[in-house]
Amino acid sequence: MGWFSRKKEITLVTPVSGKVVSLSEVPDATFAQLTMGDGLAVQPADNKIVAPCDAAVTYIADTGHAIALTSKDGIEILIHIGIDTVKLKGEGFAASVTNGSQVKTGDTLVTFDREGIEAKGYNLVTPVIISGGGTIKVKKVQSGADVSAGCDALLTVSPGK
């Protein structure tokens, strides 16, 4: 049974501690123009990405900079660590999961060398995108809010009309 037939809200916790940023402020048109989907971003204050909900890992980039999850309710979530960080070819990223892994809310997905990556000039703003199409409504926390990984709500997703 698909997620849209369940007609309930799902709350995703923030996958990284830091400050909430509107997608419109992300310095990458693909995210800022919602090309990949709606959501929010977080400017990381630490170096760990955790699962925002109970989910299956459907994709993790070989470079460790991006991870896709599908919640048990069928919500597709993309977490993209930084802008243009694919150019690092995995340097500074360590995945704790593999494709097909089942994760619980708060489980560590990826760790990264925040200071080292920023020292190389990369912006680590981390978009959290609800992808996969369909009609959804996304309630977001306010831009500028400080959030703690695995604890604070970031997005509430509900089926649209």
Of 113, 150, 141, 122, residue with least CA distance to 40:
141
**Percent of the chain whose predicted confidence (pLDDT) is above 90:** 80
- Active-site positions? 80
| pTM score of the predicted model | 0.93
Q: Which two tokens stand for residue 9?
A: 């809200």
What's CA 105's distance to the chain center, in Å?
13
Average of per-residue pLDDT across 16-22: 97
CA separation for the pair 69, 60 (Å, rounded): 9
